[in-house]
């Protein structure tokens, strides 16, 4: 039916920016803003891709990613990790846990689109 992305992010301005960018590119965008039940939301929504913030209320994006990789339904789901902290240790942690892509804030519209298009081909 089309490309569906779930954005798990707690900053309204980031949610709005990503929603705008992706909607214009033909994506159907769902959002969620806390870590408590993020895995359940991913399982329920069954998106083609998840954009996951590292620092969320309730649980970290790293913990959520670990759970997604351990679940058979989401083990291979593309996950773009998004963080304001772009240090090497953050990138290394994301890669170790199985992130498909890692991007730091602020990001450009073109960067986001390029990453998503490479993770979920047309």
- Please give the tally of structural domains in the chain: 1
- d(CA 44, CA 83) in angstroms, rounded, equals 24
Q: Which domain holds residue 63?
A: 3-85+99-119
Question: Which pLDDT does position 121 carry in this prediction?
Answer: 79
The residue with tokens 């291979």 is 76
| Distance, CA of 16 to chain centre | 14
69 φ, ψ (degrees, to nearest 5): -70, -25
pLDDT given for residue 3 in this prediction: 93
pTM score, whole prediction? 0.95
Kindly report the number of other CB atoms within 10 A of residue 51's CB atom. 27
- Domain assignment present for residue 104? The answer is yes
| CATH code at position 46 | 3.40.50.2300
Residue 94 lies in a domain: no
Structure tokens at 116: 């998503």
Count of alpha carbons within 13 angstroms of residue 9, beta-carbon side: 25
Cis amide leading into 106 (omega within 30)? yes
Q: What is the pLDDT of residues 7-24, one digit of tens each?
A: 999 999 999 999 999 999
Tell whether 32 is covered by a domain: yes
Q: Quick one: pLDDT band at residue 119, thresholds 50, 70, 90?
A: very high
Say what the pLDDT of residue 87 is.
82
Is residue 92 a part of any domain in this protein? no
């Amino acid at each position: 039916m089309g490309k569906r992305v779930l954005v798990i992010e707690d900053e309204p301005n980031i949610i709005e920016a990503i929603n705008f960018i992706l909607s214009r590119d033909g994506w159907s965008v769902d959002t969620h803003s806390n870590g408590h039940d993020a895995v359940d939301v991913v399982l329920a929504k069954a998106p083609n891709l998840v954009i996951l913030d590292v620092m969320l209320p309730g649980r970290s994006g790293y913990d959520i990613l670990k759970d997604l990789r351990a679940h058979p339904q989401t083990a291979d789901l593309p996950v773009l990790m998004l963080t304001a902290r772009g240090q090497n240790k953050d990138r290394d942690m994301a890669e170790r846990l199985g992130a498909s892509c890692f991007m730091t804030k602020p990001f450009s519209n073109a960067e986001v689109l390029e990453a998503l298009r490479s993770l979920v081909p047309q």
